[in-house]
Amino acid sequence: MLVLAANHDRYGYELVDRISEKFHIAEGTVYPLLRRLTQEGFFTTYLRESQEGPPRKYYQLTEQGRRYMNDLILEWRIFDRGVNQIIKEGLGYDEA
């Protein structure tokens, strides 16, 4: 979620759409997550009118959010490398 909003601000529907493309989840659960990330100070939100339809709530990544995102990415890379190494050692070939 943080990564999706890293380069430019996103609105809720867009984020839900991107996430549910890749993962099979109840789409409604994305909103509680967005609220939590906003409460934690990782996002700020603002409303902006769209050409057609209602105003949309946009999510903007804060500096704190960016730091948190970088921490998580690093953590993930370490985890990923570890798992891949174990698969490689266990099966004798590189899964990736």
Residues that bind other proteins (CB under 8 A): 11-13, 16, 20, 25-29, 31-36, 39, 52-54, 56-57
Q: Residue 70 CB, nearest distance to other proteins (Å)? A: 19
> Which residue, 54 or 92, has its beta carbon nearer to other proteins?
54
Sign, Cα dihedral of 75, 77, 78, 79: positive
Q: Residue 94 CB, nearest distance to other proteins (Å)? A: 28
Q: 82: exposed, middle or buried (C-beta count within 10 Å: 0-12, 13-18, 19+)?
A: exposed
Helix (H) or strand (E) run with residue 66 in it: helix 63-91
> Which residue, 26 or 91, has its beta carbon nearer to other proteins?
26
